[in-house]
Chains A and B, each alone.
Chain A
Amino acid sequence: MSGAAPRAAAILPALLAARLAWRQLRHEPARLAAAVSGVVFACLLIFMQLGFLTALFDSAVTVQAALNADLFLLNRTTEALWRSAPFPRARLAQALALPEVERVIPLHVGNAVWRNPIDGQKRTLLLFGVDPSAGLLGFPGLAAAEMAELARGDVILFDERAKPQFGPVPALLAERGAVAAELGDRRVEVAGLFALGPTFGTEGHAVASEPTFWRILPNRGPGQVDVGAIRLRPGADAEAAARALRALLPADVMVLTKAGLIAFEKDYWANTAPIGFVFGLGVAIGMLVGCVIVYQILFSDIARHIGEYATLKAMGYANGYLVRVVMGEALILAVLGYIPGWLLGLGLYRVASARIFIPLTMDLDKSVLVFALIFVMCVVSGLVAIRKLRDADPADMF
């Protein structure tokens, strides 16, 4: 026996079994099309649920990811940014006691009612109050010159990607140079734009200076802070500084690194808010539906070919060969269903993104993950269906 023969002997049976599986599937194009469309359906279900899930997570942390600071203080009872509980401003002053701390910047977050300048419709947006010169907010499209405008008072910057229901603010701004609007029963001037877009927590955003923030939300005051941003001296270890601050500060605040703040927000949407659970469940149900469909296809396929399988057994094919044939069918269905599933998923992402204004992105991670899920789905269905192979008894052939 030559050197290549044992290796070939190990791979070839699987290839030959897969070829038989393909020939069997190909022989009945109508049944194959029905089977593949079942997998495509499961694939689409999973893509959509996963798309919403990742869009939820990505959109939930765009603000946090854009904050230019190293550590963050939050009220111990805060669950998520859009519903922050304020804590005493004194905590920030206390944090300055740590030598590594270079600067502290208070950030105020509150929900304010916006009046559509065209039709007067009221909608809630998320308002940030911050020292315009601190450079804390790194939102896309936020220019320093616009930030300087905030110092005038009763001036805000508006989220140009907010839902259209807020009114055509960018168009009005381009037309008139400045837009008069109403936010929280206060007349304000929109002096500029930035681009965040809706998240699952809010439909739009606005930025103001601290005094303007307090005027728009009169129940909030200078003594309270929602997010305490801390910049460390160059070269300082964020983790170590966070530990030192936890020891230093009272237990009414938590100290998070930037990665910790992002993880904290994601955890809220994944576990505390039902939304993460709902879409996670959607993925699971998509897989379950896919499993049932593929199992049905494979089971009926085995039942219809039971005589042929028994003949193969009589000819000396072992049960393992027939198992490989059925698993081969499962994997062929996975691949054939995934390709159109991916293309349709891409199309549906485009449609959904345009409808909900939250981008659903088809990236490599998601493509690979969904293929893996479809693959697992087909393998599991195949493993359940092969029990039916026991019915193929060659002694019945006579």
Chain B
Amino acid sequence: MRAVETRGLAHRFGDGEAARTVLHGLDLAVDAGEVVLLTGPSGSGKTTLLTLIGGLRAVQEGSCRVLGTELAGADEARRVALRRRIGFIFQHHNLLGFLTAEQNVAMALEITPVMPEPERLARARAMLAAVGIGEKAGAYPATLSGGQRQRVAIARALVHAPGLILADEPTAALDGRTGHETMTLLQRLAKEQGRTVFIVTHDPRIHDIADRIVAMEDGRIIDGTRA
């Protein structure tokens, strides 16, 4: 079972003369339960690949199958439905500033409103405890440290039991030690719960958490086997 599978995936920005091809027919496969790091210099197209896999951009050319959903030709509703089955971790945590930590985590569960509120909050608190900041459940993001915020973001990305977790430079805003700690935590939780994780990073200090490292350059995969 493959969590992600692309065939001949290509992407351009702009039209006509000004068009710039950022992805050149990528073939990539990520197995379910794998923790994969995508590395490469900036401008290599790795973030574009991440947004395509995450259903945040429409696929222009080639095939992109994520969690069994073909994204080539998929409309917005189909992509929104897929996004609900993915956990996103952003470079700058992107927590909602007007919500407490547990409310932020619960937002990932509110998308399917039928779950009773107490269960939602209980799950959010349990997830915050699992990332080691259970005592900060009622705190607003502005009062948390960078590492604590990223832990809340990890809790938010995991709480709804997503089939795939996508992270974009998750350690960019953290110091080396905190970055490594949070990524080790993410890797441990993913392995415990059997989640697939796909991380875009150029932080060499976190290479040790990966099952496999894929390297990109100029819109092409140059090495997809390194572990």
Contact = CB atoms under 8 A, between A and B. Distances in A.
Interface of A: 5, 8-9, 12-13, 16, 23-24, 26-28, 307-308, 311-318, 394-395, 397-398
Nearest to B52: A395
Nearest to B168: A398
Closest 4 CB pairs of A and B: A316-B84, A27-B98, A12-B113, A316-B83
A320 to B, nearest CB: 10
Contact of B96 (A12, A311, A313): A311
Interface string B75-101: 001001111111010110010111100
Contacts of B168: 397-398
Given A16-B110, A398-B168, 11 more contacts: A13-B113, A308-B94, A311-B88, A312-B107, A313-B83, A315-B107, A315-B111, A316-B80, A316-B83, A318-B77, A398-B90
A191 B18 CA distance: 96
Contacts of A317: 80, 111
B98 A315 contact: no
B94 A398 contact: no
A394 B51 CA distance: 9
B50 interface: yes
B57 interface: yes
B184 interface: no
Most chain A CB inside 10 Å of its own CB: which residue of B57, B83, B98, B168: B98
A317 to B, nearest CB: 6
Given A13-B113, A308-B96, A316 B81 contact: yes
Contacts, number: 71
Given A311-B90, A316-B111, A23 B98 contact: yes
B130 interface: no
B143 to A, nearest CB: 13
Nearest to B153: A311
B60 to A, nearest CB: 13
Most chain B CB inside 10 Å of its own CB: which residue of A23, A315, A318, A394: A315
A317 B160 CA distance: 14
A378 to B, nearest CB: 20
Nearest to A22: B98
8 contacts: A5-B114, A312-B96, A314-B90, A315-B88, A394-B56, A395-B57, A398-B47, A398-B56
A245 to B, nearest CB: 67
A350 B203 CA distance: 70
A311 B84 CA distance: 12
Contacts of A26: 98
Interface residues of B, number: 32
B96 A395 contact: no
A398 B110 contact: no
B165 interface: no
Contacts of A315: 83-84, 88, 107-108, 111, 156
A23 B99 contact: yes
A111 to B, nearest CB: 64
Contacts of A28: 98
B171 to A, nearest CB: 15
Contact of A397 (B86, B90, B114): B90
A316 B54 CA distance: 10
B148 interface: no
B182 interface: no
Contacts of A394: 56, 83
A27 B90 CA distance: 23
Contacts of A313: 83
B85 to A, nearest CB: 8
A62 to B, nearest CB: 54
Contacts of A24: 98
A308 B97 contact: yes
B39 interface: no
Nearest to B99: A23
B103 interface: yes
A312 B103 CA distance: 13
Contacts of B107: 312, 315
Most chain A CB inside 10 Å of its own CB: which residue of B83, B103, B110, B200: B110
A320 B168 CA distance: 26
A363 to B, nearest CB: 39
Nearest to B98: A27
Interface string B197-220: 000100000000000000000000
A27 B97 contact: yes
A262 B50 CA distance: 73
A314 B114 contact: no
Nearest to B82: A316
A395 B99 contact: no
Contacts of B86: 316
Nearest to B91: A398
A89 B80 CA distance: 82
Contacts of A5: 114
Contacts of A395: 51, 56-57
Contacts of A16: 110, 113
Given A308-B97, A318-B80, A398 B114 contact: no
